Structure 1
Amino acid sequence: MQQRATVAGPPLPVLDGPWSARIPQTEGADLDLVHSWMQQPHVEAFWHQAWPHERWAEEIAGQLAGDHSLPALISHEGSPLAFVEIYRVQRDRLAEHYPYGPHDLGVHIAIGDVTRTGKGLGRRALRALAEGLLAADPACPRVVAEPDIRNEPSLKAFHAAGFRPAGEITFPDKTAALVVHPRGEEDMLR
């Protein structure tokens, strides 16, 4: 395992319109939204986090108190579209599976409203998110993700957003496709 460098927690992405990102509140409408999205069958099938309100409040508060991951709500034209978790790979289980750099960032994304899926918003959100994270951390060479290989809509969205395949990873709970959005060609995993 690599030596962990002292690097700040993950940043909020720098997004241009029609996109915006913000930190969710641990109560009220934000918590209700995240909770309801996580109950949706198309999200629960891959996130496995159809938790009660209280557990989601604790999860978001815990992420905000640490430096491993940052929860965020991504909006399109002012309307919330996705819940994301932005994480430092070096502090994640993914670090055991590829030669990460200290500034590598990873993302998890859930588009909760099924009526907003299948319209190209996911791939546009992922492209904006990756570019926004590279802008927020100029030392970050790549943004990665590890969607479940059975989640075909997610895989298609990541590939359409410029994430490139870099192999498969076996976790205890899933087999994942490692996908990479490099800053430049030299930042692609070999």
Structure 2
Amino acid sequence: MSTPPSPSFTFRPVAPAADAPLLHRWVTHPKAGFWLMGESTAQEVESAYAAIDADPHHQAHLGLHDGRPAFLMERYDPAHRELTGVYEAQAGDIGMHFLVAPTDTPVHGFTRAVITAVLARLFADPAVRRVVVEPDVRNAAVQRLNAAVGFRVERPVTLPHKTAALSFCTRADFETARETARENARGAAV
């Protein structure tokens, strides 16, 4: 069993005009089907991220691995975006989406390392108590990944473009999942 990577991740805000060509390649790739932008033009991608950039309740960040673009992370206020009226948002809730860049040379454990870095980034804000996600119920792979980092599915919800698995990850559940992963890695290394 190989040990998951320990990459160096950084984040920077998406620059809609400059990043649109890169993001267009990512969001229109067949592996990004659940991102729901598969038929978008580069201009539509730029417009979508310009709208996010102007929105006080939604932010997009490009994730860098060792200085190179590797993933996209969005954070949003679920009381004002995506889940408005779907559940009763609590103080300290933050919504999240993430997308790992497509690659011809996948690295075992990389996507889990990305979502772990994303959650660590979100929980670095002391005001964040829970991270909320709404993956498509058909996306079994992301639901397994979510469970591995501490998310718990509350219930299916109907959204405009999908039926989603409304899921929550508390700070405590994330820390427990991280400690379990560290113990498993130590056990595998022995």
Q: Secondary structure at the match of 2:14?
A: coil
Q: 1:54 aligns with which of 34, 43, 47?
A: 43
Indicate which of 87, 96, 118 corresponds to 1:129. 118
Alignment of 1:1-190 (within 5 A): 18-28=8-18, 30-43=19-32, 45-50=33-38, 51-115=40-104, 119-136=108-125, 138-184=126-172
Choose 31-40 or 73-82, whichever is displaced more: 73-82
Q: What residue identity is the alignment partner of 1:82?
A: F
CA distance in 2 between partners of 1:76 and 1:175 (Å):
32
Contact 1:130 1:181 in 2 (8 A): no
Q: Give the CA deviation at 1:81.
A: 1.7
The CA deviation string for residues 73-113 of structure 1, in whole angstroms up to 9 with x for no partner, is 11222222211211011112313222211331111111231
| Aligned counterparts of 1:118 and 1:162: Cα–Cα separation in 2 | 22
Question: Judging changes above 3 Å, is the alpha-carbon distance between structure 1 residues 143 and 117 closer, same or farther for their aligned structure 2 residues?
Answer: farther
Contact 2:16 / 2:53 at 8 angstroms: preserved in 1? no
- How much has 1:20 moved relative to structure 2? 0.8
User: What's the secondary structure of 1:62's corresponding residue?
Assistant: helix
CA RMSD of aligned residues (A): 2.0
* Matched position secondary structure for 2:43: helix
Q: Distance in 2 between matches of 1:161 and 1:42?
A: 21
Query: When the two structures are superposed, what TM-score results if normalisation uses the length of structure 1?
Result: 0.79
Gaps of 5+ in 2: 1-5, 174-190
- Tell me the CA shift for residue 42 of structure 1: 1.4
Distance 2:57 2:109 in 1: 29
**Number of aligned residues:** 167
Structure (1 or 2) with the larger CA radius of gyration: 2
Partner of 1:13: none
The CA distance in 1 between the partners of 2:113 and 2:149, in whole Å, is 6
Distance 1:91 1:67 in 2: 10
Divergent runs of 4+, >3 A: 114-118
Please report the TM-score for the alignment, with normalisation by the length of structure 2. Answer: 0.79
Q: Which runs of 5+ in 1 are unaligned?
A: 1-15, 186-190
**CA deviation after TM superposition for structure 1 residue 125, in Å:** 1.4
Q: Distance in 2 between matches of 1:164 and 1:178?
A: 9
1:23 counterpart letter in structure 2: P
Post-superposition offset of 1:23? 1.0
Classify 1:61/1:172 alpha carbon distance in 2 versus 1 (closer, same or farther; 3 Å).
closer
Residue matched to 2:182: none
Identity, in percent, stands at 29
SS of the residue corresponding to residue 121 of structure 2 reads helix
